[in-house]
Amino acid sequence: ENRLNHILASDLEGVDLAIEGRVAALPQANASGAKFAFDVDDAISHGESIKQFPRRIYLSWQPAWRSTQSIPEIIPGQRWKLKVKLKRPYGSLNPYTFDFERWSFHQDFGASGSVRSGELLLAKEIGFAEFALAMELARWNLRRKIQSILPADAHYGGVIVALVMGDQNAIDQED
Q: What are 109-119's pLDDT values in tens digits?
A: 999 999 998 99
The whole-angstrom separation of Cα 104 and Cα 114 is: 15
**Tens digit of each residue's pLDDT (9 = 90 or more) over 13-23:** 999 999 999 99
Q: Residue 158: how many CB atoms within 10 A of its CB?
A: 20
pLDDT of residue 130: 80
Instruction: Report the pLDDT value the prediction gives residue 170, as an integer from 0 to 100.
Output: 65
pLDDT at 69: 65
In contact, 59 and 114? CB cutoff 8 Å: yes
Contacts of 157 (CB under 8 A, 6+ apart): 146, 147, 150, 170, 174
- The pLDDT of residue 174 is 44
The low-confidence residues of the chain, meaning pLDDT below 50, are 174-175
